[in-house]
């Protein structure tokens, strides 16, 4: 072992014969050599001139508008903070929470943090192209808005804000079976948007068929069937909050509303919640979910869907390589690696971890099915990492809802702007100018 000497405590030579020798050898730490050179004019002190101060005194007029607040948000996490301040606890926790101990959600977000980007240098990145093709059509950005339930409960503009923001951004928007706007109303709100419809197959197949026909008639080009919901997950925040549809006015909710009056004003003065699949409902979230989910769903039902639906068919909720292969064999045009945002089975597989194995397996099968993923995405860099590891597309749920709760339609616009800016910057720093050039060499998964 080699000892390292600290220059502050270096001893005198071993042959020093006296204290006087030691004194000559060790210099005091405070000894400083003073330079005899003249001090530069720029370092001489002087009284500042008014003309010097004027350019520095550019005080901005305070802005308190919603638009100004949203512009100050530079991350999705900041939008989340705004959303929490503006939204009652029950609907905020419904969005923010997950099942049981919420281990899956934490792991999903951690997965995106546990990567190392590997940038290339000396590439021309003066122009970054984020366009990509998904399910036969171009999307201006490589992500879309995922289906979310009870959206107008989070903020009164709900699905209308989401679909219109997606239309303006040139990306797909997915309406949930449990959305709080009808298929027809969303199509009217965003007539030029690319609208998809997410389906929970009911035990009553006739009611499912009616939804499918309505979606086709309204111009939806993609049907997304969710398959990870045999029963409702144990979402304990909702249980503790006594979450009901519509929100109940209890002593707790009244007190909670006292410092969030805007939310309640908007909620009470707009049309009552109307669902994509039924007109009205009163009861707990779990009761509604369990009344809609079909625990008997099998691959035969997927075959029936493939025969019934003439557009693109996507299966959401894939959590193993085997199931990814099987749904493609049964006619799926695309799969979504998803654990339902951690809201169903806690400790479920993490889509981002599963991604390389699934893409490799489908590539070996010469499959042309699109591979998408959701869960845990909180930045544009997360999306870039997913694309580099083989995803064709990403879907955002909570990130979009945080923006919605923070500022309605403008908040959703801000979410998309933040993610787009993140992606543009990340790709430029990686030395990549277009989505198609991202590959696994750009990302290394770190091991815990």
Give me the active site residues, please: 340
CA distances from 433 to 57, 252, 321, 428 (A): 40, 52, 31, 6
Distances (CA, A) of 332 to 136, 182, 309, 419: 14, 25, 11, 28
Contacts of 336 (CB under 8 A, 6+ apart): 224, 314, 315, 316, 317, 318, 372, 373, 374, 395
Polymer length of the chain: 448
Do residues 338 and 373 touch, judged by C-beta distance below 8 A?
yes
Other Cβ atoms within 10 Å of 199 Cβ, number: 22
Asked if 316 and 226 count as a contact pair (C-beta separation under 8 A), the reply is: yes
Angle at CA 16, nearest 5°, toward 10 and 18?
110
CA dihedral 55, 56, 57, 62 (to 10 degrees): 110
Q: Rounded to whole angstroms, what are the CA distances from 320 to 30, 52, 192, 338, 391?
A: 67, 66, 36, 10, 15
Place of tokens 């171009």: 138
Tokens of 354: 């599963």
**Sign for the pseudo-dihedral over CA of 255, 68, 113, 145:** positive
Q: Is residue 438 within 8 Å of 402, Cβ to Cβ? A: no
Rounded Cα gap, residues 179 and 275, in angstroms = 5
Query: Is the peptide bond preceding residue 351 cis, with omega within 30 degrees of 0?
Result: no
Q: Say how far apart CA 341 and CA 352 lie, in whole Å.
A: 12
428 near 128, Cβ under 8 Å? yes
Tell the residue number behind the tokens 């199931």, with chain if given.
Answer: 323
């Amino acid at each position: 072992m080699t000892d390292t000497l600290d220059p502050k405590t270096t001893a005198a030579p071993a042959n020093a014969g006296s204290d006087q020798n030691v004194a000559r050898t060790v210099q005091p730490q405070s000894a400083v050599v003073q330079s005899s050179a003249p001090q530069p004019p720029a370092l001489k002190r002087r009284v500042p001139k008014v003309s010097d101060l004027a350019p520095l005194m550019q005080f901005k007029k305070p802005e308190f508008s919603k638009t100004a607040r949203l512009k100050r948000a530079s991350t999705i996490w900041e939008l989340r903070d705004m959303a929490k301040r503006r939204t009652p606890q029950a609907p905020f926790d419904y969005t923010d929470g997950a099942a049981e101990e919420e281990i899956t959600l934490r792991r999903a977000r951690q997965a995106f943090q546990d990567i190392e980007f590997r940038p290339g240098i000396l590439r021309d990145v003066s122009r970054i192209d984020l366009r990509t093709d998904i399910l036969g059509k171009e999307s201006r950005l490589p992500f879309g808005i995922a289906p979310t339930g009870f959206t107008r409960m989070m903020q009164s503009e709900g699905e209308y804000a989401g679909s219109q923001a997606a239309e303006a951004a040139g990306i797909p928007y997915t309406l949930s079976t449990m959305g709080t706007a009808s298929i027809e109303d969303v199509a009217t709100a965003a007539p030029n948007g690319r609208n998809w419809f997410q389906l929970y197959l009911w035990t009553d197949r006739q009611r499912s068929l009616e939804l499918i026909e309505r979606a086709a008639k309204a111009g939806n080009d993609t049907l997304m069937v969710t398959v990870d919901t045999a029963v409702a997950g144990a979402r304990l925040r909702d249980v503790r909050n006594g979450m009901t549809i519509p929100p109940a006015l209890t002593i707790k909710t009244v007190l909670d509303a006292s410092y969030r009056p805007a939310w309640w004003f908007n909620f009470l003065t707009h049309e009552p919640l109307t669902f994509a699949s039924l007109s009205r409902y009163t009861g707990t979230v779990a009761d509604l979910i369990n009344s809609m989910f079909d625990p008997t769903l099998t691959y035969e039902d997927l075959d029936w869907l493939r025969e019934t639906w003439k557009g693109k068919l996507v299966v959401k909720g894939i959590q193993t390589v085997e199931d990814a292969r099987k749904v493609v064999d049964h006619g799926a045009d695309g799969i979504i690696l998803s654990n339902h945002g951690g809201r169903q089975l806690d400790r479920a597989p993490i889509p981002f971890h599963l991604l390389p194995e699934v893409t490799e397996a489908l590539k070996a099968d010469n499959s042309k099915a699109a591979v998408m993923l959701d869960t845990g995405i909180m930045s544009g860099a997360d999306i870039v990492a997913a694309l580099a590891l083989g995803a064709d597309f990403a879907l955002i749920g909570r990130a979009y809802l945080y923006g919605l709760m923070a500022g309605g339609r403008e908040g959703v616009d801000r979410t998309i702007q933040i993610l787009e800016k993140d992606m543009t910057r990340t790709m430029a720093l990686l030395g990549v100018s277009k989505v198609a050039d991202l590959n696994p060499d750009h990302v290394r998964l770190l091991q815990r």
